[in-house]
């Protein structure tokens, strides 16, 4: 995921949901070399032990606070790059290469980490509550019938601005001219909540869609029935089910492009952004994949990210609702997700009476 630079951690403290799964990165990008990351303003070292099992422990050495994720793996220990203390997967310091035993209470936290659907999922809360059954289903990422393109980066801006942006398809025609469709401005919109999930649905029959979308879907510039549904999983992992078909085609027979947009806060000002999109046609066509990846990377990293970065900077650290944002018809998903996340954070912090904003 992006570079390994450690962001400054001495600024304002954010408020986060901790008892939940966050995407920590692509599983195959964690190989021999450990990785240093910051999630929820907390330093984390990711590595694989001698059996290849992905592990996550605290990333700040308790000796002189060096980045453990910049160290190396020896057997099952992660060895600090500064003076060589070795840490086990439970976070305990198990080796001291200097005279004397490891200090008895020397340890860093250990975080549950699960490898699933080509992704690493980390639990930053109470380990006893970590249930892998609650990881959202992204099985298409490893299903051979689907050919996925993907990326990951560190994006400037608050993670809720990023999840707003996916739930709000109304921005597409303005930010992504190559991916425009009338459905995004004129289509029917439905927003609802099911349990802790939030849905945004955009629908339009006989829609004029851009050549860019037509190329991605392989439909050219024919009129298409259009259906785009975003599903938000707390705190900020989103599934986008985007499909179209010749007029009259039932949704299950339309061409589907499933997408993942996962946002994991690094700090209140920076976000790990992991994305993927897949197709079940032209499977194995490397040229198609390269074009698809290029178009999506351009949209997400060169169109969405600068817009959100600048919006975030203009908010100058103010709390979102304190700025009295206008609410437009496309905001029904984002507003629901923000309220649901506030409720969950308040409940987790034992403050359930706190009114959602
Ligand atoms: S800072 Fe890690 S061993 Fe000294
Ligand atoms: Fe966008």
pLDDT for 209? 82
Span 76-89, pLDDT tens digits:
999 999 999 999 99
| Alpha-carbon gap, residue 151 to 301, rounded angstroms | 9
Q: Where are the domains of the chain?
A: 21-134, 139-348
pLDDT at 321 > cutoff 90: yes
In CATH terms, the fold of domain 21-134 is Rieske Iron-sulfur Protein (2.102.10)
What is the tens place of the pLDDT at every residue in 97-153? 999 888 889 999 999 999 999 999 999 999 999 999 999 999 999 999 999 999 999
Give the percent of the chain with pLDDT over 70: 97
- Select from 60, 66, 91 the residue to mutate for testing ligand 1; criterion: most ligand atoms less than 8 Å from CB: 66
pLDDT of 2 > 60? The answer is: no
Buried b (16+ CB within 10 A) or exposed e, 78-111: bbbbeeebbbbbebbbbbbeeeeebeeebbbbbb
Average pLDDT, integer, range 197-219? 87
Mean pLDDT estimate for the chain? 94
pLDDT score at 357 = 43
User: What does the alpha-carbon distance between residue 131 and residue 21 come to, in Å, rounded to a whole number?
Assistant: 9
Q: β-pairing, 72-74 with 54-58?
A: unpaired
Confidence of residue 352 (pLDDT cuts 50, 70, 90): low
Model pTM?
A: 0.95
- How far is residue 67's CA from residue 287's CA, in Å, rounded to a whole number? 40
CATH class of 139-348: alpha beta
Mutate to test the pocket of ligand 1, among 36, 64, 70, 102 (most ligand atoms within 8 A of CB): 64
Whether ligand 1 lies within 6 angstroms of the CB of 61 is answered as: yes
**Per-residue pLDDT tens over the stretch 236-286:** 999 999 999 999 999 999 999 999 999 999 999 999 999 999 999 999 999
Percent of the chain past pLDDT 90, that is, above it, reads: 86
Average pLDDT over residues 299-305: 97
313 CB within 6 A, ligand 1: no
């Amino acid at each position: 995921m992006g570079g390994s630079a450690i962001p400054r951690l001495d600024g304002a403290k954010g408020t986060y949901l901790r008892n939940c799964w966050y995407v920590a990165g692509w599983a195959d990008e964690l190989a021999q070399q450990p990785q240093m990351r910051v999630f929820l303003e907390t330093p984390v070292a990711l590595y694989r032990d001698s059996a290849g099992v992905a592990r996550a422990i605290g990333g700040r050495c308790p000796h002189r606070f060096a980045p453990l994720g910049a160290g190396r793996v020896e057997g099952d220990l992660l060895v600090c790059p500064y003076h060589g203390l070795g840490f086990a997967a439970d976070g305990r310091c198990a080796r001291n290469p200097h005279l004397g035993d490891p200090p008895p209470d020397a340890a860093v936290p250990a975080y549950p980490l699960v490898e699933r659907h080509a992704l690493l999922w980390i639990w930053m809360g109470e380990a006893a509550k970590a249930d892998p059954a609650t990881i959202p289903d992204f099985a298409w990422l490893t299903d051979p019938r689907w050919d996925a393109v993907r990326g990951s980066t560190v994006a400037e801006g608050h993670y809720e601005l990023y999840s707003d942006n996916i739930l709000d398809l109304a921005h597409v025609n303005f930010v992504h001219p190559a991916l425009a469709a009338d459905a995004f401005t004129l289509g029917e919109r439905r927003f609802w909540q099911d349990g802790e999930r939030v849905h945004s649905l955009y629908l339009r029959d006989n829609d004029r869609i851009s050549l860019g979308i037509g190329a991605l879907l392989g439909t050219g510039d024919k009129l298409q029935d259009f259906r785009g549904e975003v599903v938000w999983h707390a705190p900020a992992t989103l599934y986008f089910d985007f499909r179209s078909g010749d007029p009259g085609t039932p949704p299950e027979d339309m061409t589907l492009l499933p997408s993942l947009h996962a946002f994991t806060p690094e700090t209140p000002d920076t976000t790990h952004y992991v994305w993927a999109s897949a197709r079940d046609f032209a499977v194995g066509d490397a040229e198609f994949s390269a074009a698809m990846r290029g178009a999506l990377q351009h949209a997400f990293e060169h169109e969405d990210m600068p817009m959100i970065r600048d919006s975030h900077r203009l908010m100058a650290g103010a709390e979102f609702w304190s700025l009295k944002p206008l609410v437009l018809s496309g905001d029904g998903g984002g507003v629901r997700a923000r309220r649901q996340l506030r409720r969950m954070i308040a409940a987790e912090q034992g403050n359930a009476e706190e009114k959602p904003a």
